[in-house]
Amino acid sequence: MSSSTAASGRTPLTEAAPFALCAREPRVPAERLVAEMVPPPRFDSVRFDTYVPDPNQPSQSEAVTVLSAFAAGLGARPAGGPGGGGRRWFARKPQRPTGPRGVYLDGGYGVGKTHLLASLWHATPAPAEEKAFGTFVELTNLVGALGFQQTVSTLGGHRLLCIDEFELDDPGDTVLVSSLLGRLVDAGVALAATSNTLPGKLGEGRFAAADFLREIQGLSARFRPLRIDGEDYRHRGLPEAPAPFSDEQVTKAAYATEGASLDDFPGLLDHLAAVHPSRYGALTDGVRAVCLTDVTAVPDQSTALRLVVLADRLYDREVPVLASGLPFDRLFSDEMLNGGYRKKYFRAISRLTALARDAKGLVAE
């Protein structure tokens, strides 16, 4: 540290200036999309015994019990079936386990559904190549990259497919994935899925579960809905999200943090329009922190939906987000929050708020 820097008390800068996400144009081969269908880093080490049920919400403990039994029932190979991770191209159809072939976790934001879904993946006694885990968006991206039939062939040899954040607001994609799930169930693949109940709908019965089961029609009898009640754990007993910082504070933190990116928020939103959402994970490869200046309200629905996908990828990878401008709970207009995609927007606000809290330590006191 130079004497002038020491005297001023400023945070020393890293040797390399922060890079910009806007400068990245990732290319992602289809093989990577398949290989990455595992629980994301944030949920790599979670297990059923690391889930902490709220004692005031017995449905949370019940979900652990039901899912543990479901995982155990997926371990045995049917007699005469192939061993290892080989595809069951010519094997006879596997014996179906007793009870529903799928489970659906129905609940609000932050009650631990993804934790439980990832725990199910880890607990299922099968090689990793016989299990797949991905979000609804990642699954539709896979179909887009491989084609419908190849996706059926690729996933048809699996014992378990976990789908996080099943989307009910895009009829086309929902029908596409429903058709895919029907083919996979016929091939002997067990299914597990999560979705969200809106905060204002909690206590009004199986709101999301009814929507989900209606959309997948013929698969309904093969799913057991599990209601998981509770408050958002991301705000349970935790301080409120920090207020946005100044542009100067964000910029200094970006220069002082190895592996940080630094972007103007409106510019980043424009760049996301030029990158397919299936590549947003690759867009964040190696990023240790995302620093954003001049956060403003999202101007339109298409832009907002792209931001939701980016927020999911950052949350999965535990990348803190430091920002100046508007707080994250003001990103989306009232019209958006009351519209058809409101579930996605509430999820994005919840996750970005958690990442903003994680980033608070990047700013020198």
Q: What is the CATH number of the domain that holds 61?
A: 3.40.50.300
Q: Each residue of 205-214: pLDDT tens digit? A: 444 566 666 6
pLDDT digits (tens, 9 = 90+) for 147-206: 999 999 999 999 999 999 887 666 677 778 888 988 999 999 999 998 765 444 434 444
Q: Which residue has the tokens 């994970």?
A: 281
Domain boundary residue among 197, 228, 259? 228
DSSP 3-state of 41 = helix
More confident residue, 25 or 215: 25
For residue 179, which of 151, 201, 207 has the smallest C-alpha distance?
151
- Residue 236, classified by CB atoms within 10 Å of its CB into exposed (0-12), middle (13-18) or buried (19+), is exposed
Mapped onto helix, strand or coil, the DSSP state of residue 168 is: coil
CB neighbourhood size of 153 (10 A): 15
Q: Please state, in angstroms and rounded to a whole number, the distance separating the CA atoms of residues 21 and 290.
A: 9
Are 107 and 196 a contacting pair, CB within 8 Å?
yes
> Residue 233 falls within a domain, yes or no?
no
Q: Are 108 and 230 in contact (CB under 8 A)?
A: yes
Shared domain for 177 and 283, answered yes or no, is no
**Dihedral of the alpha carbons of 187, 190, 195, 201, in degrees to the nearest 10:** 110
For 162, the domain range is: 36-228
Q: What is the DSSP letter of 57?
A: -
In this structure, the answer to whether residues 117 and 88 fall within a common structural domain is yes
Tell me the whole-structure pTM to 2 decimals.
Answer: 0.74
